[in-house]
Amino acid sequence: MSEQAPHLVLADDDDTIRNLLKMHAERGGFRVSTAENGAKALELVTDDTDVVLLDLQMPVLDGFGALQRLSEEYPGLPAVVLTSMDETSDAVKAMKLGALDYLTKPFDPDELLAVLRNARRLRRAERENEQLREAIGGTGPAVEVVAESEAMQEVVEQAMKVAALDSTVLLTGESGVGKGMLARLIHGNSERADGPFVTVSCPALPRELLESELFGHEKGAFTGAVRRRRGKIEAAKGGTLFLDEIGDLPIDLQPKLLSVLQDREFQRLGGEETLKVDVRIIAATNLDLDQRMKEGQFREDLYYRLSVIPIEVPPLRDRLEELRGLSASMLKRITKQGGRKNVKLSKEATAAMEAYDWPGNVRQLENVLERSAAFCDGSVIEKKDLPETVRGSKPSGRVPAGIGGIPLSDLERESLIQTLKLCNGNKAETARRLEVTEKSVYNKLKRHGLM
């Protein structure tokens, strides 16, 4: 039978009825696994199961108990129950426990197949919805890119060329420059545009959860793993997997990702089966991966697999000619989401923003505009509506007077505090501004008791 045939798990303690159900279901195109009670039926259920058919009266674990377990461990998996003609009250109870439909004994083969096929259609729809949820909104609307500078126009041109390929892409640049937007642009203009766009933020989760998030896990793989779970790699099948901040991927997980890049295969956490996957990978980082490799924190072979096509996104301060266009586009979106009339920037506010160096880049710009739009009077953002840091001018970079005699350790501590504050706590940006490695920033913070 084809591997694509829908999977049915059926349980009945009567051998004759169980064999009859299996025969009719297989004739109807189902791949059937059978059990003589609810407990054994649950052992046969996997994420690939499409329908479960349960007799209500069984030893060990009856249909009611199995329904309860299914609702907890496999929400969304349709279940159909079998009951006798004189036990319709049991059918009602089963429906309240989550059963999709019921059949009475003796059953009609045509009715059996009609009910199972309807359940199969619902299961397919549930899986499609799950993929959309995991894809964080799917591809969404067309990505709007403001590229008025020569530097950004070159980046967009590179992205559009890359989109036609299926190669792995590595996007580099400071935090907040728009690498995620560029990844969506590449996906949306590729042959995978109709597939999911799935994002994984590598530093957002602890190592144990990140492995499960990426590769999925088998039931019992760790405490709390009550069911098999697909990872983001499987969820991205036929589409694009965007690995944000790939430089923060733990070193012991890097060989598993390398296997995905080289052979397009992986294993779930706690599993032994090797799974194939059709997915394009786009990675992004704000870290210096060359430095990370020297420090032994990033594998050289993984770096070369990721950087088949590298694209560097310039910081906002190097393309300030785009600030007006970016601001107008963002304000249009911000006011639309808030149900307000359009808001625009005054000349004075625009001049102040163009004099600022935007250490947080495009992400910081959007935050500033959203805050300023909320506090402005009327439909114009004035200079007074901008945050105090933006109302000033670019930092001069001059060393302040009067620091003679101050211990170097105190100067270093104060420099760390102020630079972290300036960078909104972003340690990678802090390292860039202090011209040290990110690891050095962490070490200095620990040494000065700042973390």
Long-range Cβ contact pairs of 380-383 (< 8 A, separation 24 or more): 380/343, 380/344, 380/345, 380/346, 381/331, 381/343, 381/344, 381/345, 381/346, 381/349, 382/346, 382/348, 382/349, 383/346, 383/348, 383/349, 383/351, 383/352
Cβ 289 vs Cβ 303: under 8 Å? yes
Asked if residue 345 has pLDDT above 50, the reply is yes
Tell me the residue type at 240. T
The CATH class of the 408-447 domain is: mainly alpha
Domains 7-134 and 316-391 share a fold: no
Asked if residue 85 has pLDDT above 90, the reply is no
User: Can you give the residue ranges of every domain in the chain?
Assistant: 7-134, 150-312, 316-391, 408-447
Percent of the chain scoring above 70 in pLDDT: 90
Q: Give the model's pLDDT for residue 93.
A: 85
Superfamily of domain 150-312: P-loop containing nucleotide triphosphate hydrolases (3.40.50.300)
Say how far apart CA 250 and CA 88 lie, in whole Å.
Answer: 56
Q: Average pLDDT in the 22-30 region? A: 93
Dihedral sign for Cα 383, 384, 390, 391, please.
Answer: positive
The CATH class of the 7-134 domain is: alpha beta
What is the pTM (predicted TM-score) of this model? 0.61
pLDDT band at 396 (very low <50, low <70, confident <90, very high): very low
Q: Average pLDDT in the 290-312 region? A: 94
Lowest mean pLDDT among 153-162, 223-232, 313-322: 223-232
The matching CATH number, chosen from 1.10.287.70, 3.40.50.300, 1.10.8.60, 3.60.20.10, for 316-391 is 1.10.8.60
Asked if residue 2 has pLDDT above 50, the reply is no
Q: Give the model's pLDDT for residue 144.
A: 63
Name the burial class of residue 397, with classes exposed (0-12), middle (13-18) and buried (19+) by CB atoms within 10 angstroms of its CB.
exposed
